[in-house]
Amino acid sequence: MTSPVPSIQFFEGLSEELDGVSLRRNRSTGARSVLMVFRQLKAIERFNSFRNQFSNAMRLIDAEGEIRVEPSSVKFYFGGPEGDDFDRMECRFDIDQDEHWDRFMRFMNRYAEANGMAYGEPEPKAER
């Protein structure tokens, strides 16, 4: 039996492609925050189709099962000459428990490996 390819879904059965992810930890509180960036959304392209059920959460699916995440913030950005061309969507959520963080990181490692993504530290800001 083969393991399922890791996927991210807002609508059941409609996998989205993650373009970037930023992981942060608040030094004073220890709280962890995840920011996922999507440059294209199949959910928007097929919005007029009601065949797929909206899950009210982002679903992260891999060989271990499913993680359901309710974003704390979802922002849509538009551009283009008329300002109505979809540019990207940013989805933010917090993870407060260590075991949930560990599970999320296992998912991200599988997702990155399956989709040719690599981990990288942010570039240091130039001094002025």
Helix (H, G, I), strand (E, B), or coil: what is residue 30? coil
pTM given for the model: 0.79
User: Residue 96: what are its φ and ψ, rounded to 5°?
Assistant: -105, -15
List pLDDT tens digits, range 17-37.
999 999 999 888 888 999 999
Q: Are 43 and 65 in contact (CB under 8 A)?
A: no
Burial call 37-53: b when 16+ CB within 10 Å, e when fewer: ebeebbbeeeeeeeebe
Cα 3 → chain centroid: 20
Sheet (strand 73-79) strand order? 20-25, 32-38, 85-95, 73-79
Has residue 53 got a pLDDT over 60? no
The residue ranges of every structural domain in the chain are 7-113
Mean pLDDT, rounded, for 68-81 = 91
Query: What pLDDT shows up at residue 32?
Result: 94
Query: What pLDDT shows up at residue 48?
Result: 47
List pLDDT tens digits, range 88-125.
999 999 998 999 999 999 999 999 999 988 876 666 66
Query: What pLDDT shows up at residue 7?
Result: 96
| Least confident range of 10-14, 43-47, 68-72, 113-117 | 43-47
Has residue 126 got a pLDDT over 70? no
Mean pLDDT, rounded, for 30-54 = 76
CATH assignment, 7-113: 2.40.30.220
Query: What pLDDT shows up at residue 123?
Result: 64
